[in-house]
Amino acid sequence: MNVDGRPLRTIWPAADGWSVEIIDQTRLPHELQTVRIESLEQMAKAISTMQVRGAPLIGVAACYGLALALRRNASEAAIDRAAATLCATRPTAVNLRGRITELREQLLARRAARRVAFAYEFCARITDEEVEIGRRIGEHGLALIEKAAALHRQCPVNVLTHCNAGWLATIDWGTALAPVYRAHLAGIPIHVWVDETRPRNQGYLTAWELGHQGVPHTIVVDNAGGHLMQAGEVDLCVVGTDRTTAAGDVCNKIGTYLKALAAKDNAVPFYVALPSSSVDWSIASGREQIPIERRSDSEVHEVAGLASNGRAASLRLTPAESPAVNYAFDVTPARLVSGLITERGVCEASTEGLLTLFPERRG
């Protein structure tokens, strides 16, 4: 995507040929700052503090973290230690574990002397792969927006999204936002309701992205979605996912489930956009089998923003003695999902639906 005329991705190899640069997403939406990552430890920290975030992006970032670790030590034991460190950073998004497992297996099949170069080649390949996947998700999702536009008597098509599943959460294009960008580029009038997404407010990243691409949007507080749907102000919901089970249950940012319930009650289509690397083929039940990340309660107690002097500041919101709990994700059962938008097309949120698009997973 272009930001003020500058083509940008969320992660890229630095000019020195070995370190890695990222957009520091903890500085957005107020400041576009890049950070150079030089070690496994720095990458693990960037993932856990959410300087990089979003399921597809943390999968790629983790692989770069492993490549950086190999520069110090490319033995099997060192690979396993680094893989364990990276997998522990964020437990819910299956992409991270999936990509690291894939890279680890391929590394172990090679001689130690070849491993560093191979790891960087692998990272470059999966980075391009994620971009192409986002482009295809956009293409398939565009058809759904075109359908909504055709049904629509008034303009624009109103899409509601939760969290940030745009290019910042991937490498480019995004998942949930890829169809929105495609529709905007195709000249379809479109407007996005952007959930704030407490406590980390990823909705502000969505708003920042959409604003830079000229897509009309409005930020709403998390509790507004139900009201908007009752008022007929939402044509379809599109969200991303951190892990989708083989039966089509969808684990995404906390609050997604409530939007799906409101969508069902108001007959608003509720779509989930995902790369197939977000499908966990080994499990069926999201509620019972997906580990839900619990983050620091300080994210609930405090809010970060810009003070009136223009400096970054953090404010305490809650009573000093009140405890808080911070579940980062929830599970939306497949029965509430109208369809899954993948790089291979749109399918029903069910085992059969997924297997129609990914027949190689049968059996």
The residues binding ligand MRU (CB under 6 A) are: 53-56, 93, 163, 165, 169-170, 174-175, 202, 240-242, 252-253, 328
Please, what is the minimum distance in Å from the beta carbon of residue 358 to ligand MRU?
A: 18
Q: Give strand ranges (E) for the chain.
A: 2-3, 6-7, 11-13, 20-23, 34-37, 157-161, 190-195, 217-220, 236-239, 243-245, 250-253, 270-273, 279-280, 302-306, 312-316, 329-332, 339-342, 345-347
Please, what is the minimum distance in Å from the beta carbon of residue 25 to ligand MRU?
A: 8
Residue sitting closest to ligand MRU (CB): 240
Other CB atoms closer than 10 Å to residue 128's CB: what's the count? 12
Please, what is the minimum distance in Å from the beta carbon of residue 27 to ligand MRU?
A: 15
CA dihedral 114, 117, 119, 122 (to 10 degrees): -110
With beta carbons less than 8 A apart as the criterion, state whether 157 and 182 touch.
no
Please, what is the minimum distance in Å from the beta carbon of residue 106 to ligand MRU?
A: 24
With beta carbons less than 8 A apart as the criterion, state whether 86 and 95 touch.
no
d(CA 189, CA 158): 9
Between 172 and 235, CB nearer to ligand MRU: 172
Between 169 and 180, CB nearer to ligand MRU: 169
d(CA 204, CA 6): 20
Between 236 and 328, CB nearer to ligand MRU: 328
Between 107 and 207, CB nearer to ligand MRU: 207
Please, what is the minimum distance in Å from the beta carbon of residue 273 to ligand MRU?
A: 7
Between 242 and 343, CB nearer to ligand MRU: 242
The CA-based angle 221-222-223, given to 5 degrees, is 95
Please, what is the minimum distance in Å from the beta carbon of residue 241 to ligand MRU?
A: 6
Between 55 and 354, CB nearer to ligand MRU: 55
Selected catalytic residue, list 242, 249, 280, 330? 242
d(CA 274, CA 92): 15
CA proximity to 18, closest of 111, 120, 87, 113? 120
Lookup: tokens for 1:
């995507």
Lookup: tokens for 159:
């899409």
d(CA 247, CA 249): 6
Residue 328 CA from chain centroid, whole number: 13
SS3 231: coil
Between 1 and 55, CB nearer to ligand MRU: 55
Please, what is the minimum distance in Å from the beta carbon of residue 185 to ligand MRU?
A: 19
Residue 111 CA from chain centroid, whole number: 34
With beta carbons less than 8 A apart as the criterion, state whether 252 and 240 touch.
yes
Tell me whether residue 242 is one of the annotated catalytic residues.
Answer: yes
Catalytic (active-site) positions: 242
